[in-house]
Structure 1
Amino acid sequence: MFDVRGRWALITGASRGIGRLIALFMAERGCNLILHSRKKENCNAVIEEVRAKGIEAIAVEAELADRDKIKNMLKEIDSLGKDIDIVFNNAGLQVGYRKDYYKTPLEDFDISFAVNFIAPAMICYHFLPRMEERGTGRIINTTSGIKNEPEQAGYSASKAALDKYTSDLANRLDGTDIIISLSDPGWCRTDLGGPNAPNAPESSIPGVVVGAFVNDRTSGRLFNAGDFHNMSLEEAVEKAKTLTPLFK
């Protein structure tokens, strides 16, 4: 199992919901954290929680729909002089549910692709060369199981693009110690999922973090969090090894 103690992880959308749970889980295992939100102060509470577990934590900010803001955030992270070995592209945006889906505004696609696809791709492209130089790294991109719902076309299409992007990169990284994976938290009661979702956010653990701990040089797998619910981390890692990469 990949040892995360003393390493640094970037978590986008870390101030609440699934991102906060990822931060707490990683901190409990000794991983130092860079926590992203739209505004740094949004992460103040999480910073206190994770520092209480004895790790270092730093907040950064960026509006992920703004490419210049993303670039500025990445420059700030570089200036910290930390080697980022783990990236959780957790942040996401879901636009309105369009009952009259033939009239879906094109702006739905603009904002969905900006936040859910282009932002993660920019972050991947920034950190992957450095991971290759060091010969190790983990990237976990958050996807969605939503399908057959044209009412959510912008969101679904942006996640499908992220799936394809991740699978294609995985094909090239497979066999190295740089492992890129997809995780699907499931429909959870978060600000994004809404109060009527069937699953508690805690049900996503350890499924959404298992990609950071796999250590078998296999990229391109999709980890559906529900399949790992109530497992220990050790059990989840063993189960993860049985899954076939999407590109195969």
Structure 2
Amino acid sequence: MSTPCLVIFGASRGLGRALAWHYAALGWRVLAIGRCFQPSEPAQWPDNIEQIRLDVTDQQALSAFFYTLAQRRELQPIELIVYNVGLYVAARDSQLTVEATQQMLNTNLLAMQQTFAFASQLLLEQGHGQLAATASVAALLKQDPKASVYSASKRSVLSICDTYRLALAPFGIRVSAIVPGYIDTARLRELNGGSSQHKLFVMSEQAAVQRIAQGLARQQARIIFPRRMRWLIAFANYAPAWLLQWR
């Protein structure tokens, strides 16, 4: 029986790293793609995880990666490709610079779409497999002119996942959108003065990994968690504007 392979983008830290280690522990071969692996970190990566440095916003490098991947027969079958890359700038769109806005859109949206285009072609040639991308519960909020660029980019991620799901379903390719709330990662703590405990319904990395892996195994279209955050978003979307603006 062949060993399944996971290709995960955004795996040098946080949720992506935790997902890579989870699947490696299950015996999968894992290609962990990232820009900022730390060779000096004390934890030793498992032997069945291959670290690959890559900037997903470099389309030429991304294309070359997928070309090489298709030639590596020892990695097949590639069962799962996950785009877990995301950039968040802590500012509303009125405060963002043009450069920061472009960088966020390039990372969260354009590179994701390009990755899906290359990945779907590879899986179609293989004849099976699963695609997934990480969005955010912020994407579930109804459209608002005051919404952040980050929320808008993640809403587009959901839309792209929906489009690919419909297009690839007849060919046996499954597509899932991972839609998490707050996860207690090092990055979230960095953005919040060293602690994430004041964030609503914050989950541990391991709890999030278990929920994602379960949803992917079930081939869920949208893996939304935690449940309480989903309910809160639903309430916010139907509540009158004056109530949400009240302090």
TM-score, structure 1 normalization? 0.74
* Equivalent residue, structure 1, for 2:244: none
Q: Pick closer, same or farther for the CA change 1:200–1:76 going to 2, 3 Å.
A: same
Give the whole-Å Cα distance in 2 for the aligned partners of 1:129 and 1:75: 11
Correspondence list, 1:127-142, <5 A? 127-142=119-134
% identity of equivalent residues: 19
Q: Check conservation: 2:161, 2:175, Cα contact below 8 A.
A: yes
**1:34 partner SS:** strand
Correspondence list, 1:23-102, <5 A? 23-39=20-36, 41-42=37-38, 48-51=44-47, 56-81=48-73, 82-83=75-76, 84-98=78-92, 101-102=93-94
Compute the displacement of 1:180 (Å).
0.3
Give the whole-Å Cα distance in 2 for the aligned partners of 1:90 and 1:44: 23
Count of residues paired in the alignment: 214
Give the whole-Å Cα distance in 2 for the aligned partners of 1:167 and 1:46: 40
Q: Pick closer, same or farther for the CA change 1:222–1:48 going to 2, 3 Å.
A: same
Larger radius of gyration: 2
Unpaired runs of at least 5, structure 1:
229-248
Compute the displacement of 1:126 (Å).
1.1
Compute the displacement of 1:166 (Å).
0.8
1:6 and 2:21 are equivalent in the alignment? no
Compute the displacement of 1:124 (Å).
1.5
Unpaired runs of at least 5, structure 2:
190-194, 229-247
Compute the displacement of 1:223 (Å).
0.5
**2:124 partner SS:** helix
Give the whole-Å Cα distance in 2 for the aligned partners of 1:202 and 1:35: 18
Q: Pick closer, same or farther for the CA change 1:151–1:167 going to 2, 3 Å.
A: same
* Equivalent residue, structure 1, for 2:98: 106
Q: Check conservation: 1:90, 1:142, Cα contact below 8 A.
A: yes
Coordinate RMSD, CA, aligned = 2.9
Compute the displacement of 1:8 (Å).
1.1
**Which residue type is aligned with residue 16 of structure 1?**
R
Of 11, 17, 20, the residue aligned with 2:17 is: 20
Give the whole-Å Cα distance in 2 for the aligned partners of 1:144 and 1:224: 9
Q: Pick closer, same or farther for the CA change 1:103–1:49 going to 2, 3 Å.
A: closer
**2:132 partner SS:** strand
Give the whole-Å Cα distance in 1 for the aligned partners of 2:125 and 2:28: 21
Give the whole-Å Cα distance in 1 for the aligned partners of 2:42 and 2:165: 31
**Which residue type is aligned with residue 205 of structure 1?**
V
1:222 and 2:222 are equivalent in the alignment? yes
Give the whole-Å Cα distance in 1 for the aligned partners of 2:61 and 2:110: 13
1:193 and 2:188 are equivalent in the alignment? yes
Q: Check conservation: 1:47, 1:59, Cα contact below 8 A.
A: no
Q: Pick closer, same or farther for the CA change 1:43–1:165 going to 2, 3 Å.
A: farther
1:213 and 2:217 are equivalent in the alignment? yes
Q: Pick closer, same or farther for the CA change 1:153–1:107 going to 2, 3 Å.
A: farther
TM-score, structure 2 normalization? 0.74
Give the whole-Å Cα distance in 2 for the aligned partners of 1:142 and 1:185: 8
Compute the displacement of 1:162 (Å).
1.1
